[in-house]
Amino acid sequence: MRVRLVRMRYGNPAKHLRVIAVTGTNGKTTTVNYLNEILKEAGYTTAMFSTATIEIAGQTRRNDLNATVASTAIMQRFFRRAKKAHVDFVVMEFPSHAIHQHKLEGVPVEMAIMTNLTQDHLDYHKTMEAYAEVKSRLFAQNPKYIVLNRDDEWFEYFNKFPAQAQKITYGEHADAEAHIDRVKLYRKGTEASITIDHQTKLELATNLPGKFNVYNMTAAVCAAYLLGVPLKDIVEGAANLESVPGRFERVNTNTPYDVIVDYAHTPDGLEKILTAVKAITKNRVLLVFGATGDRDKEKRPIMGEIAARLANRIFLTDEESYNEDPAAIRKMVYDGIERVRSGAVKTTEIPDRRDAIAKALRLAAKGDTVLITGMGHEVYRIINGERVPWNDAEVVKELLKKA
């Protein structure tokens, strides 16, 4: 009822907007940013609301709300500004919390895009089945278009929902309608070949490294294809995306080693970023990471195990403890690290995050990569219920400036 009243107070501005909703566990932010760039290249005026950035008619700002979707009132103000700017499309993330809490109730969704479904938010949803059910409510609205990841293990679950007009699937699976034929990884970017409907071939290049970003890019390409965006604009638009704050963000350090900041905070996200970084790193990957408090506790040892399996050195540190004991959080992560032979040997526990980053930077050598995960684009941390100004990339720059 409250959501409806707030919507009415702002005049229900989303009613006549063409909204494209991106949901899933990982990749939402990057997919939204890719599609936003493609649509702008095609000459459309857009609005974008993602975890990392908010944009209306080309005016961009960092999302400092510490939430993918803000309060109902803030979202209605966003829609009202988008309407006044006469945008052609609104591209935004639809996370499970927002769907479950009806924050976006009444927002008409023309297209629904699913990136993947992996373990996360089980502190809130309790089971993967319940998590999936909440996500499925977006597709149950019978949107005009649907885009699905054919390689995701939950594909069949979401594929049962029909689209009013057209549905398209993407991935490396033989039955994917947008088939990823080839992926070429580089230190500062990626090339990919995609064939749509067995006949339309696209050669794509992106500034974002990693195979997982090819999937995010392909999801956006499929969405644009369904909307009838010219192929040349799809190719150019994908290439236009230079970076996304906190998403495989390469910090400009002028050092003989690389420093990358990423938001990875789930087992799947951590595994994908570590795999991608290892593929483009000549020598060692030094990982600085931890886990968030007041969140799914089951994933902590899983992430520890993944870190021990893929990183060469680990600096286990605090992230956002919220109202939990940070030492207890680290202990759960460390339990997973110990499951891997040599995991404990390669791990140094440093509670203070700044000290942990400083230690990793001091030990990094030519050809190494320092990977800092968990906080990504965030501009503050919540510790003992209080906001503390913080940004991993800025901390790196400060430390190197003092060195």
Question: Can you give the CATH number for the domain in which 279 is found?
Answer: 3.90.190.20
For every residue of 151-172, DSSP letters joined together read: TSTTHHHHHTS--SSEEEEEES
Instruction: List the domain range (segments joined by +) for residue 133.
Output: 2-240
Question: Measured between alpha carbons, how far is residue 350 from residues 281, 288, 291, 318, 389 in Å?
Answer: 24, 10, 13, 8, 20
How many structural domains is the chain composed of? 2
Boundary-marking domain end, from 219, 240, 261: 240
When pLDDT is cut at 50, 70 and 90, the band that residue 7 belongs to is: confident
Summarize pLDDT for 58-101 with one digit per residue, the tens. Answer: 999 988 876 555 688 888 999 999 999 999 999 999 888 788 88
Check whether residue 397 and residue 338 sit in a common domain.
Answer: yes
**Higher per-residue confidence, 135 vs 5:** 135
Check whether residue 265 and residue 201 sit in a common domain.
Answer: no
Boundary-marking domain end, from 185, 219, 240: 240
Q: Please, what is the average pLDDT of the chain? A: 93
Check whether residue 315 and residue 169 sit in a common domain.
Answer: no
Summarize pLDDT for 332-369 with one digit per residue, the tens. Answer: 999 999 999 999 999 999 999 999 999 999 999 999 99
pTM for the model stands at 0.92
Check whether residue 134 and residue 198 sit in a common domain.
Answer: yes
Check whether residue 223 and residue 253 sit in a common domain.
Answer: no
| Residue carrying structure tokens 């297209």 | 111
Check whether residue 219 and residue 261 sit in a common domain.
Answer: no
Check whether residue 74 and residue 100 sit in a common domain.
Answer: yes
According to the per-residue pLDDT averaged within each range, which of 64-68, 95-99, 251-255, 370-374 is highest? Answer: 370-374
Check whether residue 266 and residue 172 sit in a common domain.
Answer: no
Q: Render the burial of 129-160: b for 16+ CB within 10 Å, e for the rest.
A: eebebbbbebbeeebbbbbbbbebebbebbbe
Q: Is the predicted pLDDT of residue 257 greater than 80, yes or no?
A: yes
Boundary-marking domain end, from 211, 240, 269: 240
Check whether residue 121 and residue 161 sit in a common domain.
Answer: yes
Check whether residue 190 and residue 69 sit in a common domain.
Answer: yes
Check whether residue 180 and residue 319 sit in a common domain.
Answer: no
When pLDDT is cut at 50, 70 and 90, the band that residue 384 belongs to is: confident
pLDDT value for 68: 52
Question: Can you give the CATH number for the domain in which 193 is found?
Answer: 3.40.1190.10
Average pLDDT over residues 134-155: 95
When pLDDT is cut at 50, 70 and 90, the band that residue 222 belongs to is: very high
pLDDT value for 1: 59
